[in-house]
Amino acid sequence: MSEIRNRAAGTRMCALRLLAVAMTAGLALAWIQPATSSAKTVWLCLPGQPNDPCAPSLTTTRTSATNQPLVIEHLKPVKDPKIDCFYVYPTVSDQKTKQANLQIDPEERSIALYQAAYYSRYCRVFAPMYRQLTLGGIGVTPPSGSTAQASPPKAPTNPPSAYADVLGAWRTYLKHYNHGRGVVFIGHSQGSGELEQLISRQVDNNPSVRKLLVSAIILGGNVTVKKGHDVGGTFKHIPACHSTTQLGCVVAFSTFDAPVPSDSLFGRSTKPGLEVLCTNPASLKGGSATLDSVFPTAPFAPGTIIGAATLQLGITPPSVSTPWVEYRDSYRGGCSSADGAHVLQIHAINGAPTIHAVPNPETGLHLVDGQIGLGNLVQMVGSEAARYFKKTGR
């Protein structure tokens, strides 16, 4: 039995090492070579598509910080949503090649559920598959029956075809599905890097397309702005969001619950005159506030690397029958610039569990960036949708 436990622990440790390198790879993808659009889009999420992971039941159990169920909320998507969400997922692929193909695997379905599906309350969700750099593609493979790395991590070679797929999907969406509708961009980690490229090249400098922008939610990346300003780095015309009814703005943050290490992957800019943007999803105008955290009750794709990593977070959902659980009074957060790192610092309140930094302090709470303020962000999108409809009549 001890041998089995040791082997299981070794597998989990390998998963965490891989995850740390994957996060680095995701940031490296922020600026890759120019590429032409992909010939054909494969949709992970597409309105009306069978078995769409972005169109689940939204029924939610609201619980106390200590996992005591309080009330069941039978949430429903709005009829005829007026805006769309365009989602690009983070590094999740367990495929054994350097780049993932366009096959939809359990890990993509899980991450779409975790990070994008809850937004379907207020928007139609579109999510393309793209040939992302896989976990194996970063030069590390999980060894069999050992806690040692099979090979050291290598600097990732950024694949132009990954951006080509995202660009192609965006052009397909504009041509066949948009029809003048407002758009919310949502991304995380490697997906955030792809969206930073897409928005800066296709939206930021194009007024006719920029008028479609409802907001951009770019998490677990490093969106930059000029020091002391809310625009002027990654984007030249798209400012930080300061209210839930502001249109054409960006929300960006990386989550920590401890001092940010000097070699952190997130929150620090190396470009003179620029700093990383942090916007508090619970209080866009600034200051500290209580976060509305929402998690699926289904485990993340069992047997996958990311699935193994999520088991180390220290968050155990209650035994409830609903597909979602909401914690409104469990975590409080505010943007911090301590030691030059601009991040969302959170802490547990009311007896809520402390979330573990997985895989290490340098990455902080990267794995919960999408969930820690999900309720706040979805409500923001709902308010923005109403504002957009009032402004445009669409």
- Domain ranges in the chain are 2-56+77-279+370-392
Q: Would you state the pLDDT for residue 393?
A: 83
Torsion 164-169-175-176 (CA) sign: positive
> Of the candidates 266, 188, 274, which has an alpha carbon nearest to the alpha carbon of residue 234?
274
Q: Would you state the pLDDT for residue 37?
A: 54
Q: Is 246 exposed, middle or buried (0-12, 13-18, 19+ CB in 10 A)?
A: middle
Q: Would you state the pLDDT for residue 152?
A: 37
Q: Would you state the pLDDT for residue 373?
A: 98
The two beta strands, 249-253 and 213-219, are parallel
Q: Would you state the pLDDT for residue 36?
A: 53
CA 217 to CA 281: how far, in whole Å? 10
Q: Would you state the pLDDT for residue 39?
A: 61
Strand partners of residue 345? 256, 334
**Which residues, given as ranges, of the chain have pLDDT below 70?**
1-39, 138-158
* 3: phi then psi, degrees, rounded to nearest 5: -65, -40
CA 347 to CA 290: how far, in whole Å? 10
Q: Which two tokens stand for residue 2?
A: 């001890």
CA triplet 74, 78, 81: central angle to 5 degrees?
155
Q: Would you state the pLDDT for residue 365?
A: 97
Q: Would you state the pLDDT for residue 50?
A: 95
Q: Would you state the pLDDT for residue 19?
A: 56
Torsion 278-279-285-286 (CA) sign: negative
Q: Would you state the pLDDT for residue 20?
A: 55
